[in-house]
Amino acid sequence: YKDKIMPLTICNLSSHNFMLISIFYIIFSQHSERSKVLLQHGVGLSKTLTHIPTKVLTMKLQLMRGDVLTVTSWLAPIVWEGTFDSAVIDGIYKPLNVTIATTVFAVGKYITYLKDFLESAEKHYMVGYNINYYIFTDQPENIPAVTLAAGRSLWSLRVPAFNRWQEISLQRMSFIRKAIEEQIRKEASFIFCLDVDMRFDNHWGAEALGNLVAVIHPWFYQASRDSFPYERRPESLAYVHADEGDFYYGGAVFGGLIDEVYKLTGTCEEHLVIDKGKDIEAVWQEESHLNWYFIYNKPTKLLSMEYLWSDEKVKITELKVVRLSTIKKNLAAVRPN
């Protein structure tokens, strides 16, 4: 299969993934006792996992992508169209009846993005799953009325208005950490933390679930490590040495199991507070701290730029589908500074 279809260099990149998938299915098909898989996802054992037939295995192996990196050097999958089968993924997660918390900040004029964000999410984001949206806003009265599907609900959490846009990004980690502690932990098993200036265009589903999930920043997909915009001043706790770093991740999408994201947000919050005490603000605010965190706490799953694209980018051939895109915004009109 490899020799016939894939050029040798690509074959080297993909063979790990090929092996992993094969091993996963061998384990899966031989053990109908499903505790390992369920425990790995940190969810209860009460529901029955549906049996995955052999014909699905055969189909899956034909879906491999040969033109892109589909696994990291620490063996985390990178999710691209053609690397997963939604029927198999839903066969794992739907019976577990998981609830996925989804945090979004809509402060000041950014509240105007919320309607399209929510309406498009209802069409494409985790369709068929229980979703709790947590909207952090300074104006709960202006949250638009959007019809949510069954099993999906929306909570508003009040935050102050800020006079610098950087401040909102900086404070997100702390607000999310607190909300997990006080509310979210009791209500959901997974969480995704998303920017609001975005629109879902296509399926963005349960294949994105994982213990600790990061997204490759679309502007730095093909960039070399020395051009990643990590924080380079050693005084900051977000400092990354020139010899370190795997990918440059976007701050607009991260997630995973609640406890993993609790640790992530708590650590970033601590580092942000210490930096502030030293009067230093990392070059890309919380995104810089997030990138630091993922170097020392490797994400267990990476999402390709299909999961975080930008309306301002010219499409590349590897991009077969845009699932979520940052909309073009008039920064002078929407930001407080």
Ligand X SMILES: CC(=O)N[C@H]1[C@@H](OP(=O)(O)OP(=O)(O)OC[C@H]2O[C@@H](n3ccc(=O)[nH]c3=O)[C@H](O)[C@@H]2O)O[C@H](CO)[C@H](O)[C@@H]1O
Q: What is the phi/psi pair of residue 92, to 5°?
A: -85, -50
CB of 70 to Mn ion, least distance (A): 26
Residues noted as catalytic: 287
Closest alpha carbon to 247 in 266, 269, 221, 265: 221
75 Ramachandran zone, left/alpha/beta (phi>0; psi -120 to 50) = left
Determine the Cα–Cα distance for residues 106 and 109; give it in Å rounded to an integer. 8
Of these, 107, 131, 143, 264, which contacts ligand X (CB under 6 A)? Answer: 107
Q: Is residue 326 near ligand X by the rule CB under 6 A? A: yes
Q: Determine contact, residues 173/268, Cβ cutoff 8 Å.
A: yes
CB of 312 to ligand X, least distance (A): 10
Q: Determine contact, residues 101/154, Cβ cutoff 8 Å.
A: no
Q: Which residue number, 195 or 207, has a Cβ lying nearer to ligand X?
A: 195
Known binding-site residues equal: 105-107, 110, 195-197, 217, 287
Q: Which two structure tokens, joined as six digits, stand for 262?
A: 């609790």
Q: Which residue number, 93 or 134, has a Cβ lying nearer to ligand X?
A: 134
DSSP count for the chain of H helices, then E strands: 11, 11
Give residues 152-211 in contact with Mn ion (rule: CB under 5 A).
Answer: 195, 197
Beta-carbon-side half-sphere exposure of residue 118 (alpha carbons within 13 Å): 25
Closest alpha carbon to 110 in 175, 146, 178, 159: 159
For the chain, how many residues are written?
337
Amino acid residing at 32: S
Of these, 284, 292, 293, 294, which contacts ligand X (CB under 6 A)? Answer: 284
CB of 77 to ligand X, least distance (A): 21
CB of 326 to Mn ion, least distance (A): 5
Known binding-site residues for Mn(2+) equal: 195, 197
Residue closest to ligand X (Cβ): 251
- Selection from ligand X, Mn ion, none that 190 binds (CB < 5 to 8 A by kind) is none
Q: Is residue 169 near ligand X by the rule CB under 6 A? A: yes
Q: Which residue number, 57 or 104, has a Cβ lying nearer to Mn ion?
A: 104
Amino acid residing at 260: E
Q: Which residue number, 99 or 288, has a Cβ lying nearer to ligand X?
A: 288
Determine the Cα–Cα distance for residues 139 and 219; give it in Å rounded to an integer. 32
Site string for Mn ion, 246-265 (x = CB under 5 A): ------x-------------
Q: Is 149 helix (H, G, I), strand (E, B) or coil?
A: coil
- Selection from ligand X, Mn ion, none that 168 binds (CB < 5 to 8 A by kind) is ligand X
Determine the Cα–Cα distance for residues 304 and 307; give it in Å rounded to an integer. 6
Site string for ligand X, 287-316 (x = CB under 6 A): x-----------------------------
Site string for ligand X, 33-72 (x = CB under 6 A): ----------------------------------------
Q: Is residue 173 near ligand X by the rule CB under 6 A? A: no
Amino acid residing at 309: W
- Count the residues of the shown chain that bind ligand X, applying the rule CB under 6 A: 23
Of these, 78, 100, 106, 131, which contacts ligand X (CB under 6 A)? Answer: 106
Strand ranges for 143-224 from DSSP E = 152-158, 190-194, 198-200, 212-216
Chain residues in the site for ligand X (CB under 6 A): 105-108, 110, 165-166, 168-169, 195-197, 217, 250-252, 284-287, 326, 335-336
